[in-house]
Chain A
Amino acid sequence: MTSIDVTSIELRSVTRWYGNVVAVNDITMSIGPGVTGLLGPNGAGKSTLLHLIAGFLAPSRGELTVAGEPSWRNPGLFRKVGLVPERDSVYSFLTGAEFVLATARLHKLPDPGAAARQAIGRLDMADAQDRRISTYSKGMRQRIKVAAALVHDPEVLLLDEPFNGMDPRQRLHMMDLLHAEGEQGRVILLSSHILEEVERLSGTIQVIVGGRLAASGDFRAIRRLMTSRPHVFLVRSSDDRRLGSALIGSPAVSGVELTARGLQVRALDYYAFTRQVAGLTREHGIALRELLPADESLESVFAYLLAS
């Protein structure tokens, strides 16, 4: 991959509406190298946003550039951009190898055969490459689509729900691949409703709710910023009952529950609680064995954002 300085996706006040329906509303964001997760419930505007970025929709208002160029009506941009669409429709009468090779030829690569073989190998599809795509499972189709999108070594890779239809092993493989591609400096933007995978893959998220950008940045940081909702911690100590009594008196704590796994503490202030819990255990001579944030999954971040 050739590295350039301007490899990023920039949106400035981008809005897209269909008639009276606003699909994407005044979104400003900047996406740089590495893996970024585009999250949101169904109908939030994730696909619309990806299509806008890929140049398959014109912004109704605002400016949008990919690698420094506008994407709308600019097919030349696909020299730098790879797209994995969500729809499962591929040229199913072709074999996997024919499909990726045809894509390499459409990109006019100097050695399309070698590029196709390499892309297929990266996606672990060499064994199935001579079978028609019509015989592939959904997960295999996803992988051959990714191989085709990567065949020209793009600087920007856009993936719409890439984990759809994949079994757990294939998901792990895809996550490893995307992670490695992001580490190399490629800009990777993926939309997904499988929050767990995005959480494992990417610390950076863009959360779209109701067509608007609800949150942007590191998902753990986003969670911490949301001080209006209690944070749940799991605490294990040498004397959970006594620690629980001490904690309930703290203004940073709104509730304590003694469970089989330890204390489940609802904290009103993330930082105040984490500072106080250490002091309290020392003060009461209790050994602190484990302190885990219990609700830092993307699911909970997401639920909070939706509720707010």
Chain B
Amino acid sequence: MPGLVNGVIVSVTFRATMGRRRALLFAVPAVVLIAITAVLAATAASGSWKPEFLGDFGFTIVLPLTSLIIGTSVLGAEIDDGSVVHLLATPVPRFQVVLSKFLVAATLTILFGAIPEYLGASIAAGPGSRLAIGLLAGALVASVIYNALFVMLSVLTTRAIAIGLLYLLVWEGLLANLVPGVGLLSAGQYSLSIAKAIANNKGLHAHLTATTAIVMGLIVTVAALVICTRKLSMFSIRGDAA
């Protein structure tokens, strides 16, 4: 994506994100997912757990949590420690800064969230199964939408992790599943609905059509990135006050 992203920002962000102590956390949800999948595959009598566990645990916990940890750190950590000023004191257009950070966050989430989800599905149902392919597609979508939201959140607030966690627990975990209509504004529902459409598996708890999920997912992603760019364009350093 030359012109949209900046190679220098991408490479520095990769090094910064993977170099932080927080990077050790990236793999934790994925390891837990694969370990539990392996245990269930070896012990479970029926196969109904496969879509339920991989859909619910994978799309409600693993992918959002991995996105939250990564998405809030790619830009948020630099804002927190002030080093972002060195990046912003250059003529790089702010949309390039945001898209470069977003690209890194989404890629790392695919690595630490979407691919493990596919590995889990492959252990459960086979690597070429419709379930594995569907869950991989849904996980890729989740990696994109969640990271757009969390990169935006890290620019909007210094308490991005706490607010992001609250959003995941209350909105995505509770309201999107219990309150009719909220699913239309749920990143989890968009990604799981796409997974369900491809996997053609009723065990996946999604309520939207694939078209609605794609259109809404696209709108939310673009809106989040636009808001993020606008906010970063107005980045202020609060100085001393008389």
Which residue numbers of A lie inside 8 Å of B, CB to CB?
18, 21-25, 42-51, 54, 56-58, 73, 75-79, 81-83, 85, 87, 89-91, 93-94, 99, 102-103, 105-108, 145, 148-149, 210-212
The answer, among B90, B92, B234, B242, for a CB contact under 8 Å with A45, is: B242
The answer, among B6, B8, B86, B234, for a CB contact under 8 Å with A73, is: B234
Smallest CB-CB separation from A21: which chain B residue?
B241
Sample of 29 A–B contacts (CB below 8 Å): A18-B241, A21-B241, A46-B240, A47-B237, A48-B239, A51-B237, A51-B239, A54-B89, A56-B85, A56-B236, A78-B89, A78-B91, A82-B89, A83-B85, A85-B89, A85-B237, A89-B81, A90-B86, A91-B12, A91-B16, A91-B86, A94-B12, A99-B86, A105-B7, A106-B6, A106-B8, A148-B86, A210-B242, A211-B241
Residues on A with C-beta less than 8 A from B90 are 75, 78, 103, 106-107
Distance from B101 Cβ to chain A, minimum over Cβ atoms (Å):
14
The secondary-structure label for the interface of chain B is loop
Smallest CB-CB separation from A105: which chain B residue?
B8
CA distance A126 to B88 in the complex (A): 25
The secondary-structure label for the interface of chain A is mixed
**Residue B47 at the A interface, CB < 8 A?**
no
- By CB atoms of chain A within 10 A, which of B7, B89, B235 has the most? B89
Residues on A with C-beta less than 8 A from B83 are 89-91
Contact of A47 with B91 at beta-carbon distance under 8 Å, contacts A73-B234, A90-B83, A91-B12 already known? no
Q: Are A211 and B91 in contact (CB under 8 A)?
A: no
**Residue B175 at the A interface, CB < 8 A?**
no
**Residue B158 at the A interface, CB < 8 A?**
no
Smallest CB-CB separation from A43: which chain B residue?
B240
**Residue B93 at the A interface, CB < 8 A?**
yes
- By CB atoms of chain B within 10 A, which of A49, A75, A149, A210 has the most? A75
Q: Are A87 and B8 in contact (CB under 8 A)?
A: no
Q: Are A18 and B238 in contact (CB under 8 A)?
A: yes
CA distance A24 to B233 in the complex (A): 22
Distance from A18 Cβ to chain B, minimum over Cβ atoms (Å):
6
